[in-house]
Amino acid sequence: MNNFELYNPVNYIFGKGQTEKLATLVPKGAKVLLAYGGGSIFKNGVHNAVTSTLNGYDITEFGGIEPNPRFETLMKAVQIIREQKIDFILAVGGGSVIDGVKFISAAVNFEGDAADILKKRILFTDLSKVIPFGTVLTLPATGSEMNSGAVVTIEATQEKLTLGGSALFPKFSIVDPTVITSLPKRQLQNGVVDAFTHVMEQYLTFPHDALLQDRFAESILKTLIEVGPNVVENPSDYKLASNFVWSATMALNGLIQKGVPSDWATHMIGHELTALYEIDHARTLAIIGPNLYKVMFETKKDKLAQYGERVWNITGNSIEEKAEKAIVKTVEFFHTMGMKTKISENAENIEKTADFIVNRFEERGWKAMGEKQNITLEKVREIVEMSY
Amino acid sequence: MNNFELYNPVNYIFGKGQTEKLATLVPKGAKVLLAYGGGSIFKNGVHNAVTSTLNGYDITEFGGIEPNPRFETLMKAVQIIREQKIDFILAVGGGSVIDGVKFISAAVNFEGDAADILKKRILFTDLSKVIPFGTVLTLPATGSEMNSGAVVTIEATQEKLTLGGSALFPKFSIVDPTVITSLPKRQLQNGVVDAFTHVMEQYLTFPHDALLQDRFAESILKTLIEVGPNVVENPSDYKLASNFVWSATMALNGLIQKGVPSDWATHMIGHELTALYEIDHARTLAIIGPNLYKVMFETKKDKLAQYGERVWNITGNSIEEKAEKAIVKTVEFFHTMGMKTKISENAENIEKTADFIVNRFEERGWKAMGEKQNITLEKVREIVEMSY
């Protein structure tokens, strides 16, 4: 097992009706920026629940944070906070809103060009230099409510980049699984596949000595497989909803990555498909993941076989046979979850996709990725072309 | 799934050689109380590693915190901290030392009779009223390094009582699995069984909707079964040591208890066996646990069957058959771990044990316990008598 540090100070408040606790969590007397996305919180009652609970607070609203939040949009919120001397941010939304708020929190007091936060991957570890924030989750998928990382897109250059650091954990996150009742089926499908792939990025590498983390990862995968296909049909079933939402948090709150190697190349390639064609994030993962496992078969076959045996109860006469069956099962699961696993089923004029992505990686100086740093740009090309 | 709050701000630092990081973790300029137990840290090199790393700090040492730490002993440390205006405590030891330090941390600024902290179960949630502390773990078992609870014995009245609250999390815990190399086999056996039973207390109740927590609990149990018998023979095998130590933390750091019912009656009865006969804590759990499952069979048989199937790969024609086999497997595992599972194998003159324990519970006003509050004092008597 690799050495690790586990630090996650988020006060994570889970369950029905927990939004009521908001007034005990937002600091008394704080000037609050209430940040949200496209306005679904007005339709599902969450905006009303939040503002009534925070009756008496000085609240400025900032809506319109888009899916794959844009640097350009977020900087408008940064300006408002600076002008109005706001000292607490409440993110009400899904991963995009929460990721956006992490960037806003970091950018307000940042000296210099705020785009450098993303371009130079600056780490935020000093609580006194960020604006504290809490979250009310309305769309489970990314785990952002219980981690300190974020992904932000610079529209001007079509770059999807990351930021993070221990100062960027939410102070609290309110997670009420009943909010998924009003979500469109497509977003629920995305949420399940996104969470599933988050686990795979941290699990599907090679056999190692971290026995407990492997079992935790398999626990999340099995739970998502058990509840995923049903929760998208019956999101008001609390048993299904609560296990889905909790699994999505646990998939990316840092726990299962401690002490183990991780891959993340599926995300790195997938981010480019979103930047290029605006394909939903989760759908890019469903396209790329299985093809990456095929191209990197020699590296990953041992872990694929373990995954097949333990998660899918696959039997077979050889490692290779079990590993191949495990990939087939994964693709079938993504299809069950409504994913179309070819780029051509999700976008048009895709002939130059591989060229574009490989060039983009080259520009950034990326030579290889993955848990063994052996997913070279040639392999990336092969993965993308296999995904057409 | 029940509503829950998950908050665990411990900076948990795991792995080989992590003690080196101590000087970056203890606040600069702090006056430190270095608290430890019977002196094993002088033999295994940990005292030397800690004090060399903290070279330059103003350190007062306080040794002699005993297994099942005594209120009377701990109050001597409280006195020293008050007199010398010490502002940070470093607990170097196992669960007893860390539990003891939690009490010390809470008692220093407590107004009134410090025994009331235990007798009145006062909850500590205000960080400004406790002395901050960190830990260096030397004996894995209790999870105390990553939770905010503690058990302290009042010697004068032979009572083993609890304290806790969100202000009593360690600021950090350094957990280097190589420290177990020098532990006696008996303590390693105890550690495995203690961690195993911690999971069982939170898992072995009745079937419920918290699918992921069940799988996490089963993951820890399977890992302890896989590594337990071998790690006591080969504690210098890092694969075994690291998985054991990490499992022991995860067994009682709060995660698996979120959203689920829990029992804890095995601990409540077991504590009395330790108070009466000084039987090692883990050994009391190995005695009581299986007999409690037998006496409460109707309540627990469904979950026992699930546990048998998933953890022990037991098959059977009925719930009852699988549940019974699961209890047998558990006792066999405890025997493999060197436990003697009868009170009479661990103590003498035990005829009045059940009377004593039932009287003690009556004096405290306890009428029933367990996840369904149906372990009445009559059931307690039956469990204890079955354990003779």
Among A180, A212, A257, pick the best mutation site for testing chain B contact (most B Cβ within 10 A).
A212
| pLDDT the model gives residue A157 | 87
Q: Do A201 and A330 lie in a common domain?
A: yes
In the predicted model, what is the mean pLDDT of residues A318-327? 98
Which runs of consecutive H residues, i.e. helices, occur in chain A?
22-25, 40-43, 46-53, 71-84, 95-107, 115-119, 185-203, 211-231, 238-251, 265-277, 281-295, 297-312, 319-336, 353-363, 377-386
Assigned domain for B5 exists:
no
- Minimal C-alpha gap between B329 and chain A (Å): 21
Among B6, B240, B242, B313, pick the best mutation site for testing chain A contact (most A Cβ within 10 A).
B6
The string of pLDDT tens digits covering residues A232-264 is: 999 999 999 999 999 999 999 999 999 999 999
- Whether B136 has a pLDDT exceeding 90, the answer reads yes
Cβ separation B6–A14 shorter than 8 A: yes
Q: Which residues of A touch B226 (CB under 8 A)?
A: 211
Count Cα neighbours of A331 within 13 Å in the Cβ-side half-sphere: 16
CA A224 to chain centre: 15
- Return the H-helix or E-strand segment holding A152: strand A149-154
Q: Which residues of A touch B258 (CB under 8 A)?
A: 14
CA distances from B114 to A129, A307, B245, B267 (A): 40, 53, 33, 24
Across the interface, which of B15, B211, B222 has its CB nearest the CB of A215? B222
- Residue A275 — pLDDT band, cuts 50, 70, 90? confident
Cβ separation B258–A14 shorter than 8 A: yes
A106 touching chain B per CB within 8 A: no
Q: Do B221 and B86 lie in a common domain?
A: no
- Residue B265 — pLDDT band, cuts 50, 70, 90? very high
Q: Compute the distance between CA of residue A119 and CA of residue A103 in angstroms, rounded to an integer.
A: 13
In the predicted model, what is the mean pLDDT of residues B192-200? 97
| pLDDT the model gives residue B281 | 92
Assigned domain for A1 exists:
no
Q: Do A78 and A199 lie in a common domain?
A: no
- Minimal C-alpha gap between A115 and chain B (Å): 30
Assigned domain for A199 exists:
yes
A242 touching chain B per CB within 8 A: yes
Q: Which residues of A touch B4 (CB under 8 A)?
A: 14-15
Q: Do B73 and B189 lie in a common domain?
A: no
Q: Which residue of A has its CA nearest to B6?
A: A12
Number of domains chain B is built from? 2
Q: Compute the distance between CA of residue A36 and CA of residue B260 in angstroms, rounded to an integer.
A: 32
Q: Do B69 and B189 lie in a common domain?
A: no
- Tell me which residue range forms the domain holding B191: 184-386
Q: Do A368 and A323 lie in a common domain?
A: yes
Count Cα neighbours of B274 within 13 Å in the Cβ-side half-sphere: 25
- Residue B236 — pLDDT band, cuts 50, 70, 90? very high
Cβ separation A219–B223 shorter than 8 A: no
Q: Do A26 and A154 lie in a common domain?
A: yes
The string of pLDDT tens digits covering residues A138-167 is: 998 889 999 999 999 999 988 888 999 999
- Whether B141 has a pLDDT exceeding 90, the answer reads no
Asked which of A163-167, B70-74, B275-279 is least confident by mean pLDDT, the reply is B275-279
A25 touching chain B per CB within 8 A: no
| pLDDT the model gives residue A237 | 98
CB atoms within 10 A of CB A318: 10
A150, A179, A208 - which closes a domain: A179
- Whether B39 has a pLDDT exceeding 90, the answer reads no
The string of pLDDT tens digits covering residues B316-365 is: 999 999 999 999 999 999 999 999 999 999 999 999 999 999 999 999 89
Assigned domain for B4 exists:
no
Q: Which residue of B has its CA nearest to A172?
A: B7
Among A211, A213, A227, pick the best mutation site for testing chain B contact (most B Cβ within 10 A).
A211
- Residue B62 — pLDDT band, cuts 50, 70, 90? very high
Assigned domain for A304 exists:
yes
Among B125, B244, B246, pick the best mutation site for testing chain A contact (most A Cβ within 10 A).
B246
Q: What is the DSSP letter of B66?
A: P
The string of pLDDT tens digits covering residues B279-292 is: 999 999 999 999 99
Phi and psi dihedrals of B381, rounded to 5?
A: -60, -45
Across the interface, which of A1, A15, A222 has its CB nearest the CB of B3? A15
Residue B146 contacts residue B102 (beta carbons within 8 Å): no
Cβ separation A215–B211 shorter than 8 A: no
Residue A169 contacts residue A147 (beta carbons within 8 Å): yes
The string of pLDDT tens digits covering residues A16-48 is: 999 999 999 999 999 999 999 998 999 999 999
B179, B212, B230 - which closes a domain: B179
B195 touching chain A per CB within 8 A: no
Which runs of consecutive H residues, i.e. helices, occur in chain B?
22-25, 40-43, 46-53, 71-84, 95-107, 115-119, 185-203, 211-231, 238-251, 265-277, 281-295, 297-312, 319-336, 353-363, 377-386
Q: Do A270 and A369 lie in a common domain?
A: yes
Strand partners, A93: A137
Nearest to A190 by CA among A142, A255, A240, A251: A142
Q: Do A115 and A226 lie in a common domain?
A: no
B18 touching chain A per CB within 8 A: yes
- Minimal C-alpha gap between B214 and chain A (Å): 9
Nearest to B248 by CA among B146, B140, B149, B145: B140
Q: Do A173 and A61 lie in a common domain?
A: yes
The percent of residues above 90 in pLDDT, for chain A, comes to 96
B14 touching chain A per CB within 8 A: yes
Assigned domain for A6 exists:
no
Residue B200 contacts residue B329 (beta carbons within 8 Å): no
Q: Which residues of A touch B240 (CB under 8 A)?
A: none
Q: Which residues of B touch A237 (CB under 8 A)?
A: none
A146, A162, A179 - which closes a domain: A179
Q: Do A280 and A331 lie in a common domain?
A: yes
Assigned domain for B100 exists:
yes
| pLDDT the model gives residue A159 | 84
Cβ separation B212–A223 shorter than 8 A: yes
CATH number of the CATH domain containing B117:
3.40.50.1970
Token readout for A144 is: 């952002």
Assigned domain for A310 exists:
yes
The string of pLDDT tens digits covering residues A83-132 is: 999 999 999 999 999 999 999 999 999 999 999 999 999 999 999 999 99
- Whether A277 has a pLDDT exceeding 90, the answer reads yes
Q: Do A197 and A161 lie in a common domain?
A: no
CATH number of the CATH domain containing B296:
1.20.1090.10
The string of pLDDT tens digits covering residues B144-181 is: 999 999 999 999 988 888 999 999 999 999 999 999 99
Pairing mode, if any, of strands B4-14 and B172-175? parallel
Pairing mode, if any, of strands B149-154 and B159-164? antiparallel
